[in-house]
A and B are shown apart, each in its own frame.
Chain A
Amino acid sequence: MSDFLLELRCEEIPARMQADARGELEKLFRQHMGDAGVALGEVAVWSTPRRLALVAKGLPERTEAVSEESKGPPEGAPDQAIEGFCRKAGVTRDQLEVRDVKGRATYFAVRNIPGRTVKDLLAEAIPAMVRAFSWPKSMRWGTASMSTESLRWVRPLSGIVAILGEDLVECEVGGIASGYVTKGHRFHGAKPEHDVTGTGFTETAVPHHPGDITIGGAHDYVEKLRACHVIVDHTEREHIVRTKAKAVAHDAGLVLVEDEGLVIENAGLTEWPVPLLGNFDPDFLEVPPEVIQLTARTNQKYFICRDKHGKLANAFVCTANIVALDGGTAIVDGNRKVLAARLSDARFFWDVDRKKPLAEHARKLANIVFHEKLGTVSDKVERVAKLAEWLASEGIVPNCDPALARQAAELCKADLVTEMVGEFPELQGLMGGYYARAEGLPDAVADAIRDHYKPVGQGDDVPTAPVTVAVSLADKLDTLRSFFSIDEKPTGSKDPFALRRAALGIIRLVTENKLRMSIGEGDLLHFFADRLKVQQKEAGVRHDLIDAVFALGGEDDLVRLLARVHALQAFVGTEDGANLLAGYKRAANILKKEEWLGVEGEIARTGEEDPLAMVDDPDLAPVIAAKMAQAHEKELSYTLEPAEKALIDALATAEPKAASAIAAEDFAGAMAALASLRAPIDAFFDEVTVNDSNPDKRAARLDLLAQFRAAVHKVADFSRIEG
């Protein structure tokens, strides 16, 4: 048993790719070992910007001998087929065996693969793994790139360390031969005066070039690298960034704004992370804090800090890759200057943008095409303004001043043409809000401009302020209706105009603010139904129940629809509900088997609730008349059994109760009315024979079941409910 070490060293790997690269390395290694039948114990993978490393503990010396068997064509098959099989299986024709398979003589290829040393196996596997490695983007380099067939890697690959136990696994790929030597930190070297961290490495321990290290094997890899200022385990570097960044802020009496994304990124950019605190000119704090945070984070990968009162402090934490000779003074000062330059740009934009009111900025929107078939952004803004005003004046968004809704909508896209949003597109909306407030517009208008893109994702807050709701809803409704009107609907994975997100936003705005309105019709309504199912799934609402209510048809009021769905879900969760559903299914199955529509069934099928409404229809009138007469006749033809009578009576009470509860949108009441049918339907099935030999009895009882089914359908289409 030996431990195996593999290190693939290259020029700086982008931080964002390292996690996937570790996964890829482990996957490929397990694949190769698995194919050769090598059982693996513990496998660790690490990354730094300059290396990927893998340590596999306890590999055997040899692989087991394996016999690989494959079944080929039957005897007498065309020569071509047999030869093709031989090629594939890697055997010659005279090596084939013939065996009996269900009475047929069939060729078999048997390859006895002898056991081999794991070292040889690794020597073959490593080049194959390197060649098969998948990077999001890869490149060619150097002299070999004279051909486009040369090795590709994320950045030039420069070294391979492959040691099994203490033996070199000799291999070569793309002109790079494996060896014992790797490099330490790019800058921290062997000179004792550079040992400012006191890790105690000496010139003799690291004999040659600063950073050249000879590795003995998996056992000394991590510590030898550490002595040369490389912490190879990324989780350890992440821990250092996480805790030290916090500590340097704390030491300055500040609180670090934690940011796990930055932790991982900084750990991916360093081999020896050293968080350092710096300050910037407090005058920059007049710029909105979001701008400062974004500048620091995206451009510079700095953490920001707050003071004890929670306000943004004029401090940042950068992560250096070195313990500098001067303790980091020059590094902090350099970083401070870079941030200052970036912040002065931001302040310049902030000042310039505020010289003009938003209304003036908005004029430039006439030059920006929204979509070639849908006009300019100005055109869109005007549509949104009209719609927002209407939503307010119609009272659909309650307590909303139509004039404010219009004003906010007219200005909501103006910040798109400001300098600041040009530089930081992710600040759209937010900057508009700041600029609106700076020019003294009402808070309701500024808030609406700021928040009208919300909700952006499933987890985002939904606006509740009336003017914001009106603008946000109008913006999304316009987007959706406009693109549907030119037949630009999302298909499959393609949704270039983010219409699914817009629909989701509308659903959340409408349902969480309980806005009563028709959200659409036709294709658009179906689109909403699909989005609603996806969205409600996360809230634990069953999609089949949504279907059961949508299947009733004509429901375009999401608030009412969801209320009904919620009541339904609560109901089917009760014992009464589950039993009623079972009773319904039994009734529906019988009716289906008997192909019985019945009076009520016929009516239900035509989608009309009031039979009298159809009497005017020349085609249906005779059908209705005949069915009604038939039903009337049957009532008199025999004596009802008690359970039959009980069901008829229960239906007579429950039906109008359910109907009036639905009319009053008291869906729980409607479910309660249905619940009252549970005992009678159970008793009916227990005590009454539907398929009576008397055809009158049979017909009347089937009609009764049809009536029961129809009563249930007034609440929801139970046939859509699963389970």
Chain B
Amino acid sequence: MCLQDMILALHAFWGEQGCVILQPYDMRMGAGTFHPATTLRALGPEPWNAAFVQPCRRPTDGRYGENPNRLQHYYQYQVILKPSPENIQELYLKSLEVIGIDPLKHDIRFVEDDWESPTLGAWGLGWEVWCDGMEVTQFTYFQQMGGFDCKPVAGELTYGLERLAMYIQGKDNVYDLAYNNHGVTYGQVFLENEKQMSKWNFEVADTEALFDLFRKAVAECRNCLANDVPIAAYEQAIEASHVFNLLQARGVISVQERASYMGQVRDLARGSCEAYMAKEKDRWAAEFDGWTA
């Protein structure tokens, strides 16, 4: 099954299950969890089921297109189900079958892997799902987000699409993946991108401009918070987080400074979550009997 058919199959499957099929968020981010459809929607009592592809950028993982497994830009398929349904594991396993993984031929395992994002003030318990020893999905029951208890708890599934595709297609090199069924490979789509972006991330990016971007994102986030637009504030937190990752890749943040930058990003993200909660909590309390923030 080619990569794009996998995405279509997952969309069809999760769409059937009642998920809203969203498009990628139009900002640079390190993980699908940053998508407001996950982070912000994990807060509060309203049921929420969504599935989407999110391109992820991890500048330090760039290998100039020379490593068969590591990329600075790749896709995550993200599913969020709130509250977590009773049969969430069974649903997940069925979703593997629709992309061609037969659980009677392969060894599917749920191996302890708890998740924590100090940046988002979030944590959850769950597993990394192994398929024949390969981690193909991160499976998490969110317990806290932005420093708030999740009430109710959401289940989050994050599939590593390239890895799964390599597995399904039996390819050892990500660039050899069939992107579609008409001869287009992943390499044709992304190899040059990886080369140039690795070079930009590690060597070219103007660090002064990045520092400036970081400061501006911090300031704008505070401006948004002061004006009670928490969704806009959260976008600035995403921006600051990614710019920080770029600065890391450029090697211009010393070990000593690192903690301070991370602390700033965390404050922005938490501040945005707090503001989002504050804005909605009265309505939620009115609509959901017995619910409190």
Q: Quick one: CB contact mask for B125-147 with A, threshold 8 Å, 1 for yes?
A: 11100011110000001010000
Checking B70, B107, B133 against A339 with a beta-carbon cut-off of 8 angstroms, the contacting residue is B133
Asked, given contacts A16-B112, A139-B143, whether A334 binds B167 with beta carbons under 8 Å apart, the answer is yes
The stretch that binds A, out of B22-30, B71-79, B81-89, B239-247, is B81-89
Q: In whole Å, how far is B277's beta carbon from the nearest beta carbon of chain A?
A: 15
Query: Taking CB as reference atom, which chain A residue is nearest B110?
Result: A12
Checking A14, A188, A339 against B112 with a beta-carbon cut-off of 8 angstroms, the contacting residue is A14
Q: Are A367 and B132 in contact (CB under 8 A)?
A: no
Q: Are B104 and A324 in contact (CB under 8 A)?
A: yes
Q: Are A367 and B83 in contact (CB under 8 A)?
A: no
Q: Are A334 and B133 in contact (CB under 8 A)?
A: yes
Instruction: Say whether A88 faces chain B, with CB atoms less than 8 Å apart.
Output: no
Q: Are A187 and B103 in contact (CB under 8 A)?
A: yes
Q: Quick one: CB contact mask for B238-264 with A, threshold 8 Å, 1 for yes?
A: 000000000000000011100000000
The winner among A146, A188, A302, A325 for most chain B CB atoms within 10 A is A146
Q: Are B105 and A148 in contact (CB under 8 A)?
A: no
Q: What is the bound-complex CA distance between A140 and B68, given in angstroms?
A: 39
Q: Are B256 and A369 in contact (CB under 8 A)?
A: yes
Q: Are A322 and B104 in contact (CB under 8 A)?
A: yes
Determine the chain A residues whose CB is within 8 A of the CB of B67 once the complex forms. 344-345, 348
Q: Are A334 and B106 in contact (CB under 8 A)?
A: yes
Interface residues on B, range: 35 or more
Q: Are A334 and B254 in contact (CB under 8 A)?
A: no
Asked, given contacts A15-B112, A367-B254, whether A344 binds B132 with beta carbons under 8 Å apart, the answer is no
Q: Which of A322-362 contact B (CB under 8 A)?
A: 322, 324-326, 330-331, 333-335, 337-341, 344-345, 348
Q: How many A-B residue pairs have CB under 8 A?
A: 134
Determine the chain A residues whose CB is within 8 A of the CB of B68 once the complex forms. 341, 344
Q: Are A145 and B112 in contact (CB under 8 A)?
A: no
Q: What is the bound-complex CA distance between A15 and B109, given in angstroms?
A: 12
Q: In whole Å, how far is B253's beta carbon from the nearest beta carbon of chain A?
A: 10
Q: Quick one: CB contact mask for A282-319 with B, threshold 8 Å, 1 for yes?
A: 00000000000000000010100000000000000010
Determine the chain A residues whose CB is within 8 A of the CB of B256 once the complex forms. 369
The winner among A325, A334, A345 for most chain B CB atoms within 10 A is A334
Q: In whole Å, how far is A560's beta carbon from the nearest beta carbon of chain B?
A: 44
Instruction: Say whether B228 faces chain A, with CB atoms less than 8 Å apart.
Output: no
Q: What is the bound-complex CA distance between A321 and B206, given in angstroms?
A: 51
Instruction: Say whether A269 faces chain B, with CB atoms less than 8 Å apart.
Output: yes
Query: Taking CB as reference atom, which chain B residue is nearest A15?
Result: B112
Q: Are A194 and B109 in contact (CB under 8 A)?
A: no
Q: Are B114 and A137 in contact (CB under 8 A)?
A: yes
Query: Taking CB as reference atom, which chain B residue is nearest A339?
Result: B133
Q: Are B132 and A338 in contact (CB under 8 A)?
A: yes
Determine the chain B residues whose CB is within 8 A of the CB of A155 once the complex forms. 125-126, 141
Instruction: Say whether A167 faces chain B, with CB atoms less than 8 Å apart.
Output: no
Instruction: Say whether B152 faces chain A, with CB atoms less than 8 Å apart.
Output: yes
Query: Taking CB as reference atom, which chain A residue is nearest B104?
Result: A325
Asked, given contacts A155-B125, A334-B133, whether A194 binds B104 with beta carbons under 8 Å apart, the answer is yes
Q: Are B134 and A137 in contact (CB under 8 A)?
A: no
Determine the chain A residues whose CB is within 8 A of the CB of B172 once the complex forms. 337, 340
Q: Which of B140-170 contact A (CB under 8 A)?
A: 141, 143, 149-153, 155, 166-167
Q: Are A142 and B105 in contact (CB under 8 A)?
A: no
Q: In whole Å, how far is A621's beta carbon from the nearest beta carbon of chain B?
A: 61
Determine the chain A residues whose CB is within 8 A of the CB of B133 once the complex forms. 300, 302, 318, 334-335, 338-339
- Other A-B pairs beyond A146-B152, A322-B103, A344-B67, 17, CB < 8 Å: A15-B112, A138-B125, A139-B124, A140-B153, A187-B108, A320-B107, A321-B107, A321-B108, A324-B106, A330-B105, A330-B106, A331-B107, A331-B132, A334-B134, A337-B134, A337-B172, A340-B172
> 10 interchain pairs (CB within 8 A)?
A137-B125, A142-B86, A145-B152, A146-B152, A269-B111, A324-B106, A325-B105, A337-B134, A338-B134, A367-B254
